[in-house]
Amino acid sequence: MLVKVINPNTSAQMTEVIGRAARAVAGPGTEVRAVTAPMGPASVESHYDEALSVPGVLASLGDADGYVIACFGDPGLDAARELADGPVVGIAEAAMRAAAYLGRGFSVVTTVARARGRTWDLAAHYGVRRSCLGVHACEVPVLEIAAEPVLATCRKALESDEPDAIVLGCAGMAHLTASLSAELGVPVVDGVQAATLAVESLLRMGLRTGARGEFAAPPAKPYAGLLADFGS
């Protein structure tokens, strides 16, 4: 089975990191293909960036059995579920749901402070707002993530929230998961891995998005201007 892991930003180097993380946990029969969005922002650090990463996500769907949207804001998730021919999972929902199996609550460690609001919105939307004990920013831009400030922020989160687990709030932190967990002595959840395994699990059960109502294929219609090719 083929799982396509979509990097919603256009930085190929982050796609590399994401693909490696996904492959590290995928099962023997699962092929992971990591792709870079063909259009949009170099990184997602605002509502603006996130909204404009969606066309690139949607353009990346197809030619696989299931899909991961590998940005912690889960951009375009509902639209992708309508469009895709297989299950679609966002890394924020997968990370939060995986963390829910590990105890009462988790803390999210994210990049920039202005991203915290979106995380709270998603936690509410996915029904885990009570399990989300805190969202902490290390104030490092997405493309400059490094081990040290993330570790320091994790420690701060452990002290203030007393969580059972840490959730990494950016796909670009995926390569730090194992070392953080070893250093901190608590479970650390990376959404890229959690989402890849969620898609693989759904495929093994033969499950995909229900397609009889809200998530049926979108009605065909003309699109205009720059986005004309998205129409049908």
Window 10 to 69, contacts with a second copy (CB under 8 A): 10, 25, 27-29, 37-43, 45-52, 54-56, 58
Q: What backbone torsions phi and psi does residue 90 show, to the nearest 5 degrees?
A: -90, 155
Which amino acid is it at 90?
G
> For residues 92 and 76, what is the distance between their CA atoms, to the nearest angstrom?
12
45 with 114: CB under 8 angstroms? Answer: yes
* CB of 45 or CB of 65, closer to a second copy: 45
Residues in 177-216 that interact with a second copy by CB under 8 A: 178, 181, 185-187, 189-190, 193-194, 197-198, 200-202, 204-210, 212-216
> For residues 147 and 175, what is the distance between their CA atoms, to the nearest angstrom?
9
Map residues 86-125 to x or -, x wherever contact with a second copy holds by CB under 8 A. -x-x---x---xx-xxxxx--------xx-xxx--x--xx
Query: Counting contacts by CB under 8 A, is residue 226 touching a second copy?
Result: yes
Q: How many CB atoms lie within 10 A of CB 45?
A: 18
Instruction: Determine the distance from the C-alpha atom of residue 215 to the mean position of all C-alpha atoms in its chain, rounded to a whole number.
Output: 20
Query: Counting contacts by CB under 8 A, is residue 83 touching a second copy?
Result: yes
Which position among 19, 131, 170, 174 is part of the footprint of a second copy (CB under 8 A)? Answer: 131
* CB of 4 or CB of 97, closer to a second copy: 97
> Minimum Å distance from CB 58 to a second copy?
7
> Minimum Å distance from CB 63 to a second copy?
18
The secondary structure element, H or E, covering residue 182 is helix 177-184
Query: Counting contacts by CB under 8 A, is residue 130 touching a second copy?
Result: yes
Query: Counting contacts by CB under 8 A, is residue 74 touching a second copy?
Result: no
Which position among 141, 144, 147, 179 is part of the footprint of a second copy (CB under 8 A)? Answer: 141
> Minimum Å distance from CB 148 to a second copy?
22
Query: What distance, in Å, lies between the first and last C-alpha atoms of the chain?
Result: 28
> For residues 215 and 78, what is the distance between their CA atoms, to the nearest angstrom?
8
Residues in 142-161 that interact with a second copy by CB under 8 A: none
> Minimum Å distance from CB 223 to a second copy?
5
Tokens of 20: 């490696």
Nearest CA-CA partner of 10 in 46, 62, 49: 49
146 with 173: CB under 8 angstroms? Answer: no
Which position among 14, 35, 69, 165 is part of the footprint of a second copy (CB under 8 A)? Answer: 165
Taking contact as CB under 8 A, which single stretch among the options 148-156, 167-175, 221-229 is the one that binds a second copy? 221-229
CA torsion angle 122 123 126 132 (round to 10): 160
